[in-house]
Amino acid sequence: MNKKGRLVLFSGPSGVGKDTLLDILLKKRPEIRHSVSITTRKKRENEVDGVDYFFISRDRFENMIDNNGVLEYTQYGVNLYGTPKEPIDNWLSEGETVILKIEVHGAENIKKMYPEESVAIFIMPPSIEVLEQRLRNRGTENEEDLIRRMEIATSEIEKSVDYDYIIVNDNLESAANEVIKILDN
Amino acid sequence: MNKKGRLVLFSGPSGVGKDTLLDILLKKRPEIRHSVSITTRKKRENEVDGVDYFFISRDRFENMIDNNGVLEYTQYGVNLYGTPKEPIDNWLSEGETVILKIEVHGAENIKKMYPEESVAIFIMPPSIEVLEQRLRNRGTENEEDLIRRMEIATSEIEKSVDYDYIIVNDNLESAANEVIKILDN
């Protein structure tokens, strides 16, 4: 076992299946710590506080930022999303493996803060066409949103070059096994 | 052993180390067949005919195209570069594994022609900065060429999404082992 913890940065375009993959991964390796993000947006009905996000007030969020309690944060629309620092530092100091779902810019910043501990994994869709189809199948997007998401996806795929590992998610089970192989290394 | 041969399409930006990787690979797995490209350009001093390329005349090249002997070809400057069809078809029919260094557009076309046999592998540089440094270290490029190559590299990296496997070449030995793991699967 490693004395030093590892911080697994888990990125990939929207629709690539990060959440499902993360679920499988955490079931297969229950000892992995999952860093849950904080957000100021409202909880949706199907979401669980502390599992999907920690849903907190804007005041609380800003207070955490002021107290150096947020590793990185970003604003989408009117809502803030961020990564709490304390649990990560605690787990890493205990030698745990911590996994963190994070978009490409956040990953870049965190990698600079934890150059020794970071293992950056990018989840790639099997093809651009499959990604588009997956986003369409969700049925929650209008055409304009879809086009925007596909543009963001393309620019994220360009950033995959800066990741330590790239895994093509053509099959959830084998993609999960590839992540585990990296973590067991 | 497979009855059906496999056609390994091997792509990645200029400077990523495809040639060195291919050398290591062919030493570790001498049974793999390497499809050598044809070109009309002049042989350089350090090159070997039949190893680096088959150096042939433009007449001969065009004749091969007319006789359906070229899988795909492209023109850079005044020179033609292409993939001869016959050796690949022969090897595949004998159940061999054939490896073919090919740029992204050629790979796309060949994948359509051999949808069953193709295994597309993209070799990714560890980062954009490392790739730029490698191209600079070659010392053969002026600044303008370098910028152009980096632009091409970025658009190739975007295309990596359509590959079956993506391998980050941060270490030649382990990248070669990853390719072998794919081929042994």
CB contact under 8 A, A168 and B170: no
Q: What is the pLDDT of residues B33-78, one digit of tens each?
A: 999 999 999 999 889 999 889 999 999 999 999 999 999 999 988 9
Measured CA angle at A37 (ends A33, A41), to 5 deg: 155
* Residues found in chain B: 185
Q: What is the pLDDT of residues A42-89, one digit of tens each?
A: 999 889 999 889 999 999 999 999 999 999 999 988 999 999 999 999
Alpha-carbon A167 to chain mean position: 14
If you average pLDDT over every residue of chain A, what do you get?
92
User: Which chain A residue is nearest to residue B158, measuring alpha carbons?
Assistant: A158
Query: Is ipTM > 0.90 here?
Result: no
* Shortest Cα–Cα distance, B75 to chain A (Å): 26
* Shortest Cα–Cα distance, B104 to chain A (Å): 14
Q: Which residue out of A121, A133, A161 would a mutagenesis test of the B interface target, given it has the greatest number of B Cβ atoms within 10 Å?
A: A161
CB contact under 8 A, B162 and A124: no
Q: Using pLDDT thresholds of 50, 70 and 90, give the confidence band for residue A3.
A: low
Between β-strands B165-168 and B33-34, what pairing exists: parallel, antiparallel or unpaired?
unpaired
The alpha carbon dihedral of B166, B171, B172, B175 has a sign of: negative
CB B21 within 8 A of CB B47: no
Residue A124 has pLDDT above 60, yes or no: yes
Determine the pLDDT at residue B41: 95
CB A56 within 8 A of CB A40: yes
CB contact under 8 A, B157 and A157: yes
Give the residue, A99 or B137, on which the prediction is more confident: A99
Task: Using DSSP, state whether B56 is helix, strand or coil.
Answer: coil
**Could you give the angle at which helices B143-159 and A143-159 cross, rounded to 10 degrees?**
120
CB A15 within 8 A of CB A131: yes
Task: Using DSSP, state whether B52 is helix, strand or coil.
Answer: coil
- pTM, whole model, 2 decimals? 0.83
| Gap between the Cα atoms of A121 and B82, Å rounded | 35
* Residues found in chain A: 185
Residue A134: in which H helix or E strand, if any?
helix A128-138
Residue A2 has pLDDT above 50, yes or no: no
Instruction: Tell me the C-alpha to C-alpha distance, in Å, between residue A82 and each of A39, B60, B152.
Output: 6, 62, 35
User: Which chain A residue is nearest to residue B13, measuring alpha carbons?
Assistant: A161
Within the 92-151 window of chain B, which residues sit less than 8 Å (CB to CB) from chain A?
A: 124-125, 127-128, 131
Residue A173 has pLDDT above 50, yes or no: yes
- How many CB atoms within 10 Å of residue B167? 23
CB A21 within 8 A of CB A175: yes
